[in-house]
Chain A
């Protein structure tokens, strides 16, 4: 019987299976096991978490394949890894290694300031960051099978992720409530591909899942993003920069599942120890804002 690999349904479907779950950044096998044990639906294998990338400065690149391999061998849940925006070869290397999902990520230093990857050329699915419907629909048209808010990575400050999620949800509602003859003008004004907007209008949502990322630091942050309409949550620096990662990871998973059970969130937020310190966004210089990367 004939098998068709890398179809939209196979790539997008993989992200559908992650819904309601938490994807955690890890830098070694030990952290990957803690994440899996805590109930993460996938891990993102990295050389450094975003807050350390921010602190280290310089050029941030795809992780050393040894780390990706080590993490892949440590867990049975899916493994994701990041490549630089527009870096065709980093993406191909990760695909060749059997990574389950690639994040074309603004957390790394962009390799191309003009073009994002043409993701339809790949069998492996991609997730991409977005701040508004224009960025989200352009990435989907290029073949992204999953969208996440950019937020402001490595800050432990939820404000930008909230801004981006609210923006996307309100723009999706605008499109849904628009008459069809208004859509082309909206496409022009927001730089959104017309066909993707039509699809949003017909289905009432993005054609791919939309996760929250970039600043989630507490169980309440994760629940907040779910309440604002996220399909799931990425937690980068929040977990392994906290005092008690295993406990923290479990609490974030549970708060994501039961995001409207406030008594439960209170209970699981007790005695968690300090969350990561965090950065006030207004103190970040323009050049240090990762969300400005990509277009």
Chain B
């Protein structure tokens, strides 16, 4: 069985654990750096990106997470997680783990009262993905090796670059597990049988 971690410093950890467990993988909430070693893939959950980043620094996760990505191990970031993955952020903000060639704008749809849900098609996953956007970011620009999997009203909301998958919305808040299944398949295809 493959091991998938959920970075458990802050945010909607429990929901990701539940959604991944439905795909018959071992799920590990990650609170300590040593736990990264046993993982085949990792999820950056939704939450507050500034809070998560502070805790990443505080507990010396920064370099180990960069190394994890450098080994081309799959990472899936939702909402704040996607912000952590971006190599560029709008508005003179320093990037965080910076593993994906995407430029992300935080809170791009507005404040909480503008948060919404919608049904949208995601390439290779489904035509009717249940998407909950909460103070969501958008992917403003993507590099040449990045594949755009979904747009909403002309804005990029799901993108993939090799083993990295970034998503503006929160698949973990719905009963629709197809985004998680897709990521689990990405992880499976990366794991070389021993």
Interface residues of A (CB under 8 A from B): 1-7, 9-10, 13-14, 16-21, 36, 38-42, 76-78, 95, 98-101, 123-125, 253-254, 257-258
CA A14 – CA B47 in complex, angstroms? 9
A77 adjacent to B58 (CB under 8 Å): no
A13 adjacent to B51 (CB under 8 Å): no
Is residue B116 contacting chain A, with contact meaning CB distance below 8 A?
Answer: yes
Enumerate chain A residues within 8 angstroms of B55, measured Cβ to Cβ.
39, 253-254, 257
Enumerate chain A residues within 8 angstroms of B106, measured Cβ to Cβ.
76
The closest CB in chain A to the CB of B46 belongs to: A17
CA A36 – CA B135 in complex, angstroms? 17
A101's partner among B51, B112, B152 (CB-CB below 8 A) is B112
Enumerate chain B residues within 8 angstroms of A78, measured Cβ to Cβ.
48, 112, 135
How many A-B contacts if CB must be within 8 Å? 118
How many chain B residues touch the partner (CB < 8 A)?
Answer: 41
Closest Cβ of chain B to A248, distance in Å, is 15
Please judge, given known A-B contacts A9-B117, A39-B51, A124-B112, whether A257 and B132 are in contact too, CB under 8 Å. Answer: no
Closest Cβ of chain A to B52, distance in Å, is 9
B79 adjacent to A17 (CB under 8 Å): yes
B13 adjacent to A4 (CB under 8 Å): no
CA A17 – CA B44 in complex, angstroms? 12
Is residue B134 contacting chain A, with contact meaning CB distance below 8 A?
Answer: yes
Enumerate chain B residues within 8 angstroms of A21, measured Cβ to Cβ.
10-11, 47-48, 51
Please judge, given known A-B contacts A253-B54, A257-B10, whether A4 and B116 are in contact too, CB under 8 Å. Answer: yes
Is residue B31 contacting chain A, with contact meaning CB distance below 8 A?
Answer: yes
Interface residues of B (CB under 8 A from A): 8-15, 31, 46-48, 50-51, 54-55, 58, 79-80, 106-107, 110-120, 132-135, 152-153, 170, 173-174
The closest CB in chain A to the CB of B120 belongs to: A1
CA A20 – CA B31 in complex, angstroms? 12
The closest CB in chain B to the CB of A205 belongs to: B14
Enumerate chain B residues within 8 angstroms of A39, measured Cβ to Cβ.
50-51, 54-55
The closest CB in chain B to the CB of A96 belongs to: B113
A10 adjacent to B50 (CB under 8 Å): no
CA A1 – CA B150 in complex, angstroms? 12
B135 adjacent to A100 (CB under 8 Å): yes
A19 adjacent to B10 (CB under 8 Å): yes
CA A3 – CA B79 in complex, angstroms? 17
A9 adjacent to B10 (CB under 8 Å): no
A10's partner among B11, B80, B116, B152 (CB-CB below 8 A) is B116
Enumerate chain B residues within 8 angstroms of A16, measured Cβ to Cβ.
12, 15, 46, 173
